[in-house]
Amino acid sequence: MPYKFSLGGLAGAMLCLACEPRVCEDRANASDALPQRLSETGLFQDLERERLGPGVFAYAPEFVLWSDGTDKRRWVFVPDGAQIDTSDLENWRFPRGSKFWKEFSRDGVHLETRLLQKVGNGDADWAAAAYLWRQDQSDAELAPYGAIDALGTTHNVPASGECFACHDGRSNRVLGFSAIQLAPRSEATPERLPETAREALFASALPTLDVPGTPTESAALGYLHANCSHCHNQSAAAQSAEKCLNPNQELGFDLDFTLYTDRLTSVSSTATYRTALGRVIERGNPDASKVMEVMASRQGGVAQMPPLGTERVDERGLRTLRSWIGAL
């Protein structure tokens, strides 16, 4: 691009009229370390038959991020001989070479598969990009700038820089693969990670962790954790991270960052109850609760929550929160 104006900062400065919080850095070079095709990433050793590559394990977090109703599958890989350091329950440390994939499909058609790959030893050393599936589903191509309306659907594939808008909210950059999402519960629950995977991935067994409250309360707290807490959390790392989203750090919806301090012994010990009640959540009155208003909005920008990655309201999620707030 011989004539592309190089002073992107000038553009940012001149257009920073409203201090738009959604402005991201173009971090497409974050995908430089990644292969050009999904078939080269190690996810599958036989892509057509979907035979996973060696050391790759499927997992399913208990609380999931709303992605406009797409079907999602997830996988994790840790290099042979290395393991995830879970000694800090609130912030696992991942060895260099770790990989996470998340696949998005609609009506059985694969649309994109995102890859998050640890490329250094520091917590922030991750590369990220999406792979856009070919129309014939034979493979997926690296798409560092994403795509709009992938394969004729309404699903948009994020640009690399956008990945970090959410992932920078955690000091280890990993979302959905954490103690609160994967640890065993006191009561029988569906397996989130096969035992063979747990043995291979973790240096020590995960403790039993329960989300407090009634089923309604824990469902609501889990929903807020999965959908809001990657930005709205009060951990020091989140406050200091360079994020393109700069949310109100006074609010916290996370469950992870209270594991040590409170052991999640009661709902009142959660960040949500401590920081959001009376501010964006009005006891017994979902209609007066800001959190419901922004969740029900898809006007774009920060008038809607989440502000990125969704164009459809999560009606089921709204019902979950409405029941909970109404009963508070």
Partner 1 sequence: MRARALGALLLSFLTLCVPLARAEPPAPFPPDQRWQVAADARAGTSTGPYVTAAFPETTAYGATVTLRGRLRWTRRFSVGLRVPLVLARLEQPAGALYAEAAWGNPELYGAFDLLRSEQGGWTLDLTTSLALGAPLAEHDSAQLAGRVLSFADALEGFGEPELFTPGVLPVTPAAHLLLSSGSWRFGASLKLPLLTRVSDASLPSDSATRPLGFVPVGELSARRQLLPWLAVTAAPRLTVRAVSPVDDHASPLQLLVIGQAEFQLGAALSAAAVFQAPLGGALGGSTLAGGLTFLATF
Which residues are near partner 1 by CB under 8 A? Answer: 1-5, 7-12, 14-15, 17-18, 20, 22-26, 28, 132, 143-149, 156-159, 161-162, 165, 244-245, 299-301, 303, 307-309
| Residue among 248, 268, 249, 250 nearest 258 (CA) | 268
Length of the chain in terms of residues written: 328
Q: Which of 28/200 has CB closer to partner 1?
A: 28
- Start-to-end Cα distance in the chain: 57
Distance CA 141, CA 139 (A): 7
In the complex, the smallest distance separating the C-beta of residue 289 from partner 1, rounded to whole angstroms, is: 22
Distance CA 57, CA 63 (A): 18
Q: Which of 1/236 has CB closer to partner 1?
A: 1
In the complex, the smallest distance separating the C-beta of residue 38 from partner 1, rounded to whole angstroms, is: 16
DSSP string, 66-112: --TT-EEEEEEE--TT--BB-SSTTS-B--TT-EEEEEEEETTEEEE
Q: Which of 14/236 has CB closer to partner 1?
A: 14
Q: What does residue 117 show for φ and ψ, rounded to 5 degrees?
A: -125, 130
In the complex, the smallest distance separating the C-beta of residue 158 from partner 1, rounded to whole angstroms, is: 4
Exposed/middle/buried for residue 270 (C-beta within 10 Å: 0-12, 13-18, 19+): buried
In the complex, the smallest distance separating the C-beta of residue 301 from partner 1, rounded to whole angstroms, is: 7
Q: Which of 42/307 has CB closer to partner 1?
A: 307
Q: Is the Cβ–Cβ distance between 87 and 206 less than 8 Å?
A: no
Q: Which of 61/307 has CB closer to partner 1?
A: 307
In the complex, the smallest distance separating the C-beta of residue 4 from partner 1, rounded to whole angstroms, is: 5
